[in-house]
Structure formats: C-alpha cells, structure tokens
Structure 1
Amino acid sequence: MIGFVINLDEKSKIPKYIQLYEHIKNEIHEGTLKEGTKLPSIRMVSEALKISKSTVENAYNQLIVEGYIESRYKSGYYVINIEIYDYNQFAKGNIPNYKMVEPKKSIDIQSSDEQEEATFNFSEWKKMLNKVLEYDTKALLSSGDVQGEFALRREISDFLYQSRGGKCHPDQIIVGAGIQYLFGLIAALFRGEEAQIAFEHPGFSKGMYIFEDYGYQTIKIPVESDGINIKKLEASLAKIVYVSPSHQYPTGSIMPIKKRIKLINWATKNQSFIIEDDYDSLLRYEGYPIPALQGLNQGKNVIYVGSFSKLLIPSLRISFMVLPETLIQKFNFIKDRYSQTVSKIEQLALANYMSEGYFERHIRRIKKIYGRKNQLLIDAFKVHQNPYYELIGKESGLHVMLSFSPTVNKEKVVKDAEAIGLKLEGISDYEGSNILVLSYSGLLDQEIEPVIGKLSQIVLESNEKFT
C-alpha cells in the first residue's frame, strides 16, 4: 500500500478529480507506480486529501477506462503494465483545459444525418456570419488559403490542445469539406509509395472506399473489445492504418494506453503512419475526453482528423486534419493542385464562434441534451423487452447496437422501422451479421419510449412471420 504526495490546487479551474488522475497517470508513466502496485482505497484517499469519495472514484474510473489500472473484485485497484518504452516521448504535464467537461454520458452523432433542432442555436451562428459580412468584407474579396483560414486553424490548434491534449501549430492543420475529402488528400500524399492501408473492421467503410478509389489495397483488421487487433496489423504489409482509438464506431470501444503504445511502437519501428479519427471523442460518458493518440509521441507518426459537422450540424461541412511535420513539406509540394472546398465566410464565422466562447457553450448544451436522450433510450428498452433482440453497445453515444435472434427477418425489421422514423443499419461480417445499429439523434425525448415500443412489436411480428 502506498500513499499519495499531492497538493490539489483549490483555486484551479481544473476539477480535483482530473488533478488526481493526472498525478497518478504521471507516476505510472515515470515508473514510480509500477505494475502490480495496489493503490490506496477510495476511502483512504478521500480522507487523506480531504476530498469526496466521488472525486476519487471519478479519477480511478478514468484511469480504468484508459487502461492504467484495473479493479479486482474484493481486492482493490492495481497498476497495469503499460510497457512504456520512453516516457520522454509522451505528454507529461500537458493538462488540457477541462472547464467545459463534466462526468456525463458520451455522445456521438456520426451515424445519423439528422439532429433535433434544439441542439443548435441558429441565432448565435447567424450573429457570427453577420459579423464576418460586416467587418471582414475586404478579406472576402479573395479566395483564401488553400490550407484553410489562419484564424480558424489557430482556433483549432488551441482547441485540440485544451480539450484533447493534441500538440500542433496552425501550419500543420488543413481544413476541408468533409473527412472523405481529407482522406483523398492523404491518399494523394502517399500515392506511388504505399499500396496498402489497413482499416478497423467493422469501422468507417466510407473512408475505406476513398482509398480504394485511389488504387490502394485495403486490409480489414478485426476489432477486439479494446480496439484494433495489433498482432494482425503487424502481420499485414500495411504502412498506414486507420483507427478511432477514443471511440470506435460502431462498438464504442476505447483503446487502452497499453495498446496505444503498441500501436505507436508499430508505426515508429516500421516508419508507418496512423490516421487517428477523432470521432466525437470530446463527448463521452463518465469522466472527460480520452487524450488524443496524436499527443502521445508529439504526433510524429499520427495524422489526426476531426469534423465540426458532427459537433455542430451535418450541413456545416467543415473538417480538418493535423499532419505530422514530416508530411507538411510533401503537402506543400502538391497543395497548389487543389482548391479550398470550404466557404471562407463559414471558416471565419466558425473562428469567431470558437474565439468568443459560443462553441464551448454549445458543447455543454448538447451534452445535457444527448445525455438525457441516451438514458431515455436505455429506459425504453428496459420497458419494451422481448426475447428476440438484445441491446448492446449502449454506451457508444447516439447510436446503440441491437443483436437479433437468427429467426428474425432483419430486412423486414429495417424496412418497417424506417416507416416509424428509426434508422437501422447493418454491419457486414460482424458477429454473423446479426447486428443492427440504431441511430436516434433525430428523435424527440417524448418520441423515444413509444417508438421503441413499436420497434419491439415489429421485431415480434418479423420473428413470427419469418418462422
């Protein structure tokens, strides 16, 4: 049993549980807390630091989620071997600004094109657009930067550091209309050099199609309970891999630190690159966002991609990627072949939206809305249970996975569900294809329970007629 020597900053805007989490994480990275070390009980830490038990529990839970410690039944909390190879490569003392984060449920709006109208304040966005049109008219007379407006790239750089622990400067950021467009740029960067790219499976199939259209051979690497299968990745000939380590779609799994380090080791050893998809990892259940893979080794082998289309509204087609410095020169060589695909007006409006604090308030607002919606959905499935389907993956945001009995006619379920406003999508080659993904971001709170009741009846009828 050990004791913590830590002075929590009472005046800091950083919550105490985050300060405690960062302290323990750094001690594990430094080797002060070694594999197998038993941490003090929640009660002991609470009494020693004069903080609430829930504060300690939140810190411990975050360490568990990220794979630093494990909870053993009736025994306590123990440090896990994370196989650090060089701590100097990892982010230490880089505590992001967590002022807009609360321990709430995660959200994810990627798998649906619809959102509830209340999730976005259009009057605030109109105010930012009008500001650009009134004060930035001279700037609007030119076509703008192919890489993206500097004002927006500067805000994105600050945002990544504060919220995800990412490390980059504005010159490393490229703005584009949609992730698929940015994937086309990545494919162009490596064309003629790398013929193969690995993708999580199941995963982001539309991203995979872009590389196939550019002539790449795509390799499907299966996803385990904690992310992509590293051994199968190592056995492949791929020099690039796509992963969503902080919130895998559709499973919702989080890649623990031990596997993240193995992935970085693979990239470093093979001089390969990792495409890290942010995939709404800013918004998640219990605790705060998982630190970005890009920040672990200064982003040397990581191409980080993210989108505002999911965080704001789908019709706002603004995405971005962060290139390692080693790829910036290559990009500069080819960038004149391309035009900027995002409206300069919208780029400047978004820069103002972020700098004036509207974006931060928006995130707080949608966390409350989506957290409530997620709980209503889970409660609705409890009320309308039937033996022919099971709710799984319920902590992966604004979609859940449904596992169906083999006797259910899934095609009919999908068709009939669409008639009542539910979007169900299949996942090919995943657990016998008995899984459907249910997206619910467009449902109003009061619609959730009756709609799930109708879905339950649809499943019953589909099973009876199929058998």
Structure 2
Amino acid sequence: MPVVLALNPDDKRTLQTQVFQELRAMILEGRLRSGDAVPGTRVLSEQLGVSRNTVVLAYERLYAEGYIETQANVGTFVSSILPEAAMSSQRGNTVGGERVLASENDDETSPIDRLLVHKHERADGRRLKADFWIGRTESKLFPKSEWRKIVETKLRHQTDSMSVYGGPEGLETLRAAVSDHVGPSRGISTNFDNVLITSGTQDGLTLLAMAFKDKGYGFLHEDPCYLGALALFTAMGYASKGVQVDNQGIKIDELPKTGKWIVYVTPSHQYPIGSTLSLERRFLLLEWARKTGSYIVEDDYDGEFRYDGAPLTSLRGLDQTGRVIYLGTFSKSFGPALRLGYLIANPKIMHPLRDWKQLISNGTGWMKQAAMAEFIHSGGYRRHLRRIRTAYMKRRDCLVSGLHNLFGDCQIVGETAGIHISWSLPAKYGSPSLLEKSALLNGIGIYRPETGGAWISKQNKSFSQTVVMGYAAISEAKIESSISGIDDCLRGLEK
C-alpha cells in the first residue's frame, strides 16, 4: 500500500525522525488503520529517495512502540493493538477489532461509550485460533437433547400460556425452582416471593439502578470491576467511587465511613482478578452496610463453578438484616444468549423492582422460563452442572499446569473457582500489552484487565503485570498449543 510522506530536507529533525513521526501521525489520525499494510523498507526508501537504513531505523522505532507489526513471509502492517488505543477510546480505537475502555479514568467520555463488543477476531478480520476472552462458555456442552424435549412438551401442552402476559416477577414455578436450587448450592434460605426473574445480570442491574435512582445513594464498586455495571450506573447519573481489591477481595478499610451507597461486589470470584472475598471481610462488609444504611449487590456471575474446597457461604446467605441483593445468572451454565437470570432481595426492595420490570419489559419470555423450571425440577440442571464442571476443571488444570511449566512458580489467582484465571507476567518480559499484541499476531487472544471487559483506575498499579484468561470455551488441545504459542511470543520479549 503506497503512502504519501512529506519529508523536508531543511527540517532540523533527522530524516529517520521525520519518517517515524509522519507514519505515526497517519496511524493516529486514522489515515492508516489497524491491519492496513505499509510499504516495505526497500520500497519506501526508493519512493522517498532516502537510504534504506533510514527507513529501517524508523520502522524499528514504530515496531518497538507498538505502531506496526510484521508477519513472516507476508509483510508489515499497522498494529492490531495500538498504544493510544489502550489509553483513549474517544477516537474509536480498537483492540483486535473492538472498542476498549481506557486503563484510567476519562471524565470526558461516558463509560457506556467504552463498552466492549468482543468479536473474537483480529483487526484484519481473521478469526483467532484460540480466544481466552473472559466469560465465554462451551456451546458444544449445551444439553440440546434434554432441552429440546422439554420445549417440545411445553409447546404441545401449554401453548395457551403464550397468549397472555405473565407476572413481571416471572413464573412462580421457576422462582420456586431457583429458591430450591440456591439453598444447598449457595447457602441462601429464601422462598419464591423473594425471587425475580431477569433477562440476565445486566437486566437485574438496570432494575436496581432504576429502583434506587434519586434516593440519595452513591455507587461503590471494586477496582478493578466489571465494566458493564459501572457503565450502567454512571450513565444513570450515579456518583461512583472505586475501592481497590487484593487477594482477599475488596478492601473493607477503604470503604467510606459515611453516606448511603450501593456497593457492587463479586465476592465468589472477583471480576476480573479472580480472588475470593474472605469470610472475615464478608462479615465486615455486612456490618459496614448495616451501619451506613447501604445495600450490597452481590453478583454471583460464575458461582456455579467451584473446583477445590468447599465454597464460602454467599453474602446473601450470611445476611441477617436484608442488606444484600443477590444476582444470579444462567449465562455461564447455559450460555449468555439464553438471556435468563434471577435476583433475590427482601420484600421492601422487591416491590419497586417488580414495578420497574413491568415498566421496562413486562416480564421475561414464558418459554425459556417454563423450560428452565422443568429442567431444574427434573434434576437435569444438576446433572448438566456436574458435566460441565468436570469439563471446565480439566481445561482449568490444563491451563494452570501449562503456565506453571512455562514460568515455574507462576503467580496465579482464581483457579479454585469460576471459568477464568489471572496471572502475573514476570517483569523480565516487559509490559503485558506487548505480550497481548504479540499473541494476537499469532492468533491467540489473551488480555489485560482493561482490555478484557473490566474497568481499572489509572492510580491502581497493583495489577500492572496482570493477564486474564478465560478457559471454558477452549479445548485442552488448543490450550496446550496456545501455551506453546505464548512461549514463542515470550522468547521474543525477554529482556
């Protein structure tokens, strides 16, 4: 691809610097986009009438700073992940073809503008060989046969239910099934009156944001945290504040001592780091909520998956004062496209949530509710969970052992639960952003918190070397080959 550069022999800058800065400007201004080919060094040197060495040195600087990338026997291209793309989404920059949130606060841009739409492909349109995106599940493990039989039975015998509106809180049979399920699995003692069926976690968060709006509550969240939650509450006008986490979860001593807050936490498997909120901190968080008159939103997004040891009782299960609102979902056990989840709250909160559900969507689709209720009551859901836990645990073991073989005593967090882990890249390999770019060139998607669907404040340096990897949707064979590919990338980065 030819490019037009304006070099000035009278400029005080060297020709090498001019080539570098001209090409960088073309990339940053969007005249050259991610994936676009750039001329070879010989071609450009002949075009400009300068020595090839001048262009080679300029290209080496562009490569070192992450603006271009080379593909063996193919050519040189504008990088799939640009340095400024990781710092500013106002220009519509991309990572692997999708928009990303900056790794720092950007008061001029609403977080809702920075939500990720992950496409599982490179900027040049080629699909990744292995994508370790957080939250992806294995579609091949969906119980198609059992689900089809249930749906066909409902269609044969209960089609009258499709001609009337149901209650906005959801089918009683499914709410009863959920309350029966979360008792032994999550330590929550409840009944169907305290359960509201949602179209997934984001729907539940929307109902909460509407119900508490203009009632004097601020929004507290983990730092880092799930971007979708922060984007929603910020877009709704809530004043927000991040509270840092460590390997025991959210730091209780950094919570505000005054004010009423909605505090959003992921205690079972912190998103995205993977730590588990310790039992001591769970009790301290509950006491803080009682004293301040605040509410805790417990997002148990992948709480169905525990591999090692007994799970800690959920915050809702420990709550004695009605201060915890529990969010559950079938997205990780069945797949996000099902759009089915649930919310558990005390009656005082349930009434406005029900009203908002009626106003926003007038309930969740009957068919999937009825089918899921039957699937749970019949024992099919329990059997399905056993199958996928076994499969995901094998993939977890494959990934963890592969990383240990690669690094030795590797610092891994979150391997006991959920469907993703985080690990710390040794400093000798440089910034994880370099590894992320190099892996993407080799068709492997690995991520940092800020490019993997999370928000992290610019002052939070605790996870500057952190890499996050979801493993549920990737076979053991692909995990093994990806580890080998990452090893190759690291050899090129080692200082």
Structure-2 separation of matches of 1:304 and 1:110: 27
Give unpaired runs (5+ residues) of structure 2.
1-130, 451-455
Structure-1 separation of matches of 2:403 and 2:474: 15
Partner of 2:360: 338
Structure-2 separation of matches of 1:451 and 1:362: 28
Which of 479, 482, 491 pairs up with 1:448? 479
- Sort the Cα spacing of 1:456 and 1:395 in 2 relative to 1 into closer, same or farther, 3 A: farther
Counting only pairs closer than 5 Å after superposition, residues 110-125 of structure 1 correspond to structure 2 as 112-125=134-147
Structure 1, 360-369 or 271-280: larger mean CA deviation: 271-280
Partner of 2:421: 400
Counting only pairs closer than 5 Å after superposition, residues 50-69 of structure 1 correspond to structure 2 as none
Please tell me whether residue 425 in structure 1 is matched to residue 456 in structure 2. Answer: no
- Sort the Cα spacing of 1:400 and 1:170 in 2 relative to 1 into closer, same or farther, 3 A: same
**Partner amino acid, structure 2, of 1:262:** L
Structure-2 separation of matches of 1:197 and 1:117: 35
**Partner amino acid, structure 1, of 2:182:** L
String of CA shifts for 1:241-278, please: whole Å, max 9, x gaps.
11122222223222233222211111112221111111
Counting only pairs closer than 5 Å after superposition, residues 8-157 of structure 1 correspond to structure 2 as 112-157=134-179
**Partner amino acid, structure 2, of 1:324:** N
TM-score, structure 1 normalization: 0.70
Preserved contact between residue 274 and residue 421 of structure 2 (Cα < 8 Å): no
Which of 467, 479, 485 pairs up with 1:436? 467
**Partner amino acid, structure 2, of 1:263:** L
Preserved contact between residue 135 and residue 419 of structure 2 (Cα < 8 Å): no
- Sort the Cα spacing of 1:113 and 1:276 in 2 relative to 1 into closer, same or farther, 3 A: closer
Report how far residue 110 of structure 1 moved. Answer: 11
- Sort the Cα spacing of 1:252 and 1:113 in 2 relative to 1 into closer, same or farther, 3 A: closer
Please tell me whether residue 210 in structure 1 is matched to residue 232 in structure 2. Answer: yes
String of CA shifts for 1:410-466, please: whole Å, max 9, x gaps.
3342234344343423343342522121122221122221210111111222x25xx
Structure 1, 399-408 or 212-221: larger mean CA deviation: 399-408
**Partner amino acid, structure 2, of 1:131:** T
Preserved contact between residue 266 and residue 299 of structure 2 (Cα < 8 Å): yes
Partner of 2:407: 385
Preserved contact between residue 251 and residue 396 of structure 1 (Cα < 8 Å): no
Please tell me whether residue 186 in structure 1 is matched to residue 217 in structure 2. Answer: no
Structure-1 separation of matches of 2:303 and 2:483: 27
Structure-2 separation of matches of 1:230 and 1:215: 25
Structure-2 separation of matches of 1:125 and 1:440: 25
Report the identity percentage.
28
Partner of 1:95: none
- Sort the Cα spacing of 1:421 and 1:125 in 2 relative to 1 into closer, same or farther, 3 A: farther
Structure-2 separation of matches of 1:390 and 1:457: 20
Please tell me whether residue 294 in structure 1 is matched to residue 316 in structure 2. Answer: yes
Which of 170, 174, 182 pairs up with 1:160? 182
**Partner amino acid, structure 2, of 1:426:** P
Structure-2 separation of matches of 1:447 and 1:216: 43
Please tell me whether residue 275 in structure 1 is matched to residue 297 in structure 2. Answer: yes
Structure-2 separation of matches of 1:205 and 1:119: 28
**Partner amino acid, structure 1, of 2:443:** I
Report how far residue 168 of structure 1 moved. Answer: 2.0
Partner of 2:73: none
Preserved contact between residue 303 and residue 418 of structure 2 (Cα < 8 Å): no
**Partner amino acid, structure 1, of 2:142:** F
Structure-2 separation of matches of 1:172 and 1:273: 16
TM-score, structure 2 normalization: 0.67
SS of 1:266's equivalent in the other structure is helix
- Sort the Cα spacing of 1:415 and 1:124 in 2 relative to 1 into closer, same or farther, 3 A: farther
Preserved contact between residue 136 and residue 473 of structure 2 (Cα < 8 Å): yes
Please tell me whether residue 223 in structure 1 is matched to residue 254 in structure 2. Answer: no
Structure-1 separation of matches of 2:430 and 2:379: 49
SS of 1:160's equivalent in the other structure is helix
Structure-2 separation of matches of 1:114 and 1:232: 32
SS of 2:210's equivalent in the other structure is helix
String of CA shifts for 1:203-228, please: whole Å, max 9, x gaps.
22211111001100111011132121
- Sort the Cα spacing of 1:334 and 1:218 in 2 relative to 1 into closer, same or farther, 3 A: same
**Partner amino acid, structure 1, of 2:275:** S
Preserved contact between residue 283 and residue 289 of structure 1 (Cα < 8 Å): no
Partner of 1:241: 263
Report how far residue 233 of structure 1 moved. Answer: 0.9
Q: How many residues align?
A: 355
Report how far residue 236 of structure 1 moved. Answer: 5.7
Give unpaired runs (5+ residues) of structure 1.
1-108
Structure 1, 245-254 or 119-128: larger mean CA deviation: 245-254
Report how far residue 396 of structure 1 moved. Answer: 4.5
- Sort the Cα spacing of 1:255 and 1:384 in 2 relative to 1 into closer, same or farther, 3 A: closer
What is the root-mean-square deviation of aligned Cα atoms in Å? 2.5
Counting only pairs closer than 5 Å after superposition, residues 364-383 of structure 1 correspond to structure 2 as 364-383=386-405
**Partner amino acid, structure 2, of 1:291:** T
Structure-1 separation of matches of 2:284 and 2:135: 35
Preserved contact between residue 327 and residue 344 of structure 2 (Cα < 8 Å): yes
**Partner amino acid, structure 2, of 1:243:** V
Structure-2 separation of matches of 1:151 and 1:242: 29
Structure-1 separation of matches of 2:408 and 2:491: 8
SS of 1:288's equivalent in the other structure is coil
- Sort the Cα spacing of 1:392 and 1:254 in 2 relative to 1 into closer, same or farther, 3 A: closer
